[in-house]
A = this chain, B = another copy of it.
Amino acid sequence: KDEQGNYLVTLLKGHGIGPEISRSVKQIFQAAGVPITWEEHEVYSRAMNKEGDLLSSETINSIRRNKVALKGPFMTPIGKGFRSLNVTLRKKLQLYANVRPCRTIKGIDNIYDNVDLVTIRENTEGEYMGLEHRVVPGVSESIKIISRRACLKIARYAFEYAIRNNRKRIIGVHKAGVMKKGDGLFLECLREINEEYPTIQYSEKQVDTMCMKLAMNPQDCDMMVMPNLYGDIVSDLCAGLIGGLGLTASGNIGAEAAVFEAVHGTAPDIAGKNLANPTALLLSGCMMLDHMELYDHGNTIRNAIYNTIEERDNLTRDLKGAGSTTLFTEAVIKRIENKT
């Protein structure tokens, strides 16, 4: 907290449409009286110094100190050898759980109704460790590491999340028929932790079957927990079921810090044109408020967003509206001020 008694939160506005949608969040949070002071940090999209530090240590230290950050989209670093900034951030801060709730929003012309899913993704190991090499010319080997430690942590997180959010069912998603040792270990840990949570209904599904099921009957599913790569795939699929990444919140949770982010791209084609939809970053911000136990603020803003979308008040173009970033932001603020 700062001198005014506000919580300090690191803000990484990101690139492309990042600054515009971050402005929208700041305005809406201010209108809702959220007791936050933002500590803004720049992240670079390519090497700015010889060491190639795109994420400066000041940025990392700010997040460590504040324990909470909100982030807009980052550009993919250009040039060989640079790893994704997202992956680096998750790794450096040991943000072991990626959480993506996907819920149908009324007012959006959707293929599916009543979707209400949560993907919990192991966020630090698996295929994302960058362990690869060329065995002989023309043959590459990519290594997927799964550890009991990380599996137990993500399993515990998933079951605790279910209890906290009053969710009833968890599916462990895997391909243990093929990766008996890797995904097998993952399932073993889930089963172990499951024993401590007898009120949660636990089952298992292969990742291919899971994706088919999600395309056919997403309404039958509730929470899913899975290793890194499957989580990447399944969470994007779930986002597709409710209208895309422009509408989905995401959080990366660690023991020492948590980073909430809009997982869509930087949309360079519309950057700076006041056309960007801030919803994903806003909803990620609300997840952050819940995480900070500022539940009332989170609910107020979330309801204002849902009502604005349901009434299709100045929606952005991606939602087939004729509004803009600023008009949509004003529409949300109006509802917060009128408490509707």
A residues contacting B by CB (< 8 A) are 76, 84, 87, 111-112, 127-128, 130, 132-135, 138-149, 175, 177-185, 207-209, 211-216, 229, 232-237, 239-241, 243-245
- Contact, CB under 8 Å: B182 / A211: no
Which residues from chain B contact A132 at a C-beta distance below 8 Å?
179-182
- Expressed in whole angstroms, the minimum distance between the Cβ of A199 and any Cβ of chain B is 28
- Contact, CB under 8 Å: A143 / B140: no
Give Cα A76 to B206, complex, Å.
13
Q: Which of B139, B145, B149, B178 contacts A128 (CB 8 A)?
A: B178
- Contact, CB under 8 Å: A208 / B185: no
Which residues from chain B contact A145 at a C-beta distance below 8 Å?
135, 139-141
Task: Write the chain B residue with the least CB distance to A248.
Answer: B212
Which residues from chain B contact A149 at a C-beta distance below 8 Å?
138
Which residues from chain B contact A147 at a C-beta distance below 8 Å?
138-140
6 contacts between A and B (CB under 8 A): A132-B179, A140-B182, A211-B211, A211-B234, A215-B240, A237-B237
Give Cα A177 to B241, complex, Å.
24
Closest 7 CB pairs of A and B: A215-B240, A138-B148, A212-B240, A142-B182, A208-B236, A132-B181, A211-B237
Give Cα A330 to B177, complex, Å.
37
Which residues from chain B contact A236 at a C-beta distance below 8 Å?
208-209, 211-212
Given A140-B181, A208-B236, 10 other A-B contacts at CB below 8 A? A111-B216, A132-B180, A138-B185, A141-B145, A142-B144, A142-B181, A175-B229, A211-B237, A215-B215, A237-B237
